[in-house]
Amino acid sequence: MYMVINSKNVKGIVSIFVIAAVIISAVGYVEYVAPRNVENGKITVTDIIGQTFTFNSTLTRIVSLDPSATAVLYALGAYKDVVGTGSYDYYPPSGTAPVICNDFNVHYSSLVALKPQAVLGYGATVPSYGLYINSTLHIPFILDNPNSVSQIENETLMLGALTGTSSNATKITNWMNQSLSDMTNVSKGLPNESAFYLECEYNGAIYTAGNNTFINDEMQYAHLINIFTQSGYNTISPEVIANSNPSAILIDCYASPLYMKQAPFNETSAAKNNNYVQFFNDTYFTNPDFRFIYGIEWLLQWRAQGNAQMLYELSELPAFPIKLKYSPNFNYETPP
């Protein structure tokens, strides 16, 4: 989708083509009960499309083809149980698990040799390789596609149940809850501002994110009102951008600020007032997991624009509750 497509952003790109309606929470923390059940030592989980899986014990051999799930497993202290990953994982950095999937091509013999108890994948529908893994190889293929605060919490709690790390999962969701509450209080004086998220331009089409995406949730927490009101990741016409005239524009790190000098962007208030910013990387804006908290913090820091009190209060947000070799914000940079 991008002028230069980078593997780290593949999850957002795939979502453009795999669009489905998902449940989104309202802005603010929503009490959410994870679809999991532990009874008689057995663990039952339900994935994003309603598939139910039951295991006789916690999992100790997992293949994660979902970068978000891999990140969550690391934070939970369960990375030791990850025996294989896809090529798009980048948290934790320098991951030690062997890569058995590249560009959506799964090396099935390597997968079988790893003897996983389950494979974690992502998407709004089960991909063809997921169907093959589940139906032919008879390895449970658990699908996840979190696109809101509540669904990110669900992913965290589900993986905690599967790996016997529910205590850490609860700590993480509580941290998310407290961080969201604190940021809501810190930012309550910010005025709402119309905004546009430039995902990418590809073959003349402009891609963005709308309702039912965690990007939209992040924007709302930063009091940025998305001009794109359709659901999911989709294209937007230049005319809609021009007519909506956003006063702020967010540019993905693989798009280019040079677009602001071209139509339809150059006539927007955002371009005329230089009120646009490019993400330093897509760590907190592409893969929907608990680290989206840092994405909201980053947007609020950008919006603070010299408000020393607000910047100070943002610096006092609660620290991540679990000590890790690689902190979830290990490559965090404040906005320019």
Q: Please give the average per-residue pLDDT across 243-254, as a whole number.
A: 95
Angle between helix axes 149-163 and 214-221 (nearest 10 degrees) is: 120
Tens digit of each residue's pLDDT (9 = 90 or more) over 172-224: 999 999 999 999 999 999 999 999 999 999 999 999 999 999 999 999 999 99
- Check whether 45 has a pLDDT greater than 90: yes
Q: Please give the average per-residue pLDDT across 265-288, as a whole number.
A: 91
Distance of CA 161 to the CA centre of its chain: 20
Task: Give the per-residue pLDDT at 3.
Answer: 31
Q: Please give the average per-residue pLDDT across 16-20, as a whole number.
A: 32
Give the contacts of 77 (CB within 8 A, at least 6 positions apart): 165, 168, 322
CATH topology (fold) of 7-182: Rossmann fold (3.40.50)
DSSP E strand stretches across the chain = 36-39, 42-46, 52-55, 62-64, 82-86, 99-102, 105-106, 118-122, 141-144, 193-198, 200-202, 205-209, 224-226, 233-236, 248-251, 276-278
Work out the percent of the chain whose per-residue pLDDT is above 90. Answer: 75
Q: Which of 198, 264, 263, 206 lies closest to 226 in space, CA to CA?
A: 198
40 pLDDT band, cuts 50/70/90, is low
Task: Give the per-residue pLDDT at 281.
Answer: 77
- Check whether 14 has a pLDDT greater than 90: no
- Token output for 244: 């909506």
Mean pLDDT of the chain: 88
- Check whether 242 has a pLDDT greater than 90: yes
Give the contacts of 60 (CB within 8 A, at least 6 positions apart): 81, 117
Residue tagged 């009490």 (tokens): 31
CATH class of the domain defined by 187-315? alpha beta
DSSP state of 45: E
- Check whether 78 has a pLDDT greater than 80: yes
Q: Please give the average per-residue pLDDT across 25-48, as a whole number.
A: 60
47 contacts 33 by C-beta, under 8 angstroms: no
Neighbour-count burial of 68, counting CB atoms closer than 10 A to its CB (0-12 exposed, 13-18 middle, 19+ buried): buried
* pTM for this entry: 0.87
130 contacts 143 by C-beta, under 8 angstroms: yes
Query: Using CA of residue 263, residue 267, residue 268, residue 269, what is the dihedral sign?
Result: positive
95 pLDDT band, cuts 50/70/90, is confident
Range with lowest mean pLDDT among 32-36, 83-87, 108-112: 32-36
- CA atoms of 264 and 39, how far apart (whole Å): 57
Q: Hey, where are the domains in the chain?
A: 7-182, 187-315
Angle between helix axes 292-304 and 214-221 (nearest 10 degrees) is: 40
Q: Which of 199, 3, 10, 200 lies closest to 87 in space, CA to CA?
A: 10
Q: Do domains 7-182 and 187-315 have the same CATH topology?
A: yes
91 contacts 68 by C-beta, under 8 angstroms: no
H-only helix segments in 189-266: 214-221, 238-244
- Check whether 111 has a pLDDT greater than 60: yes
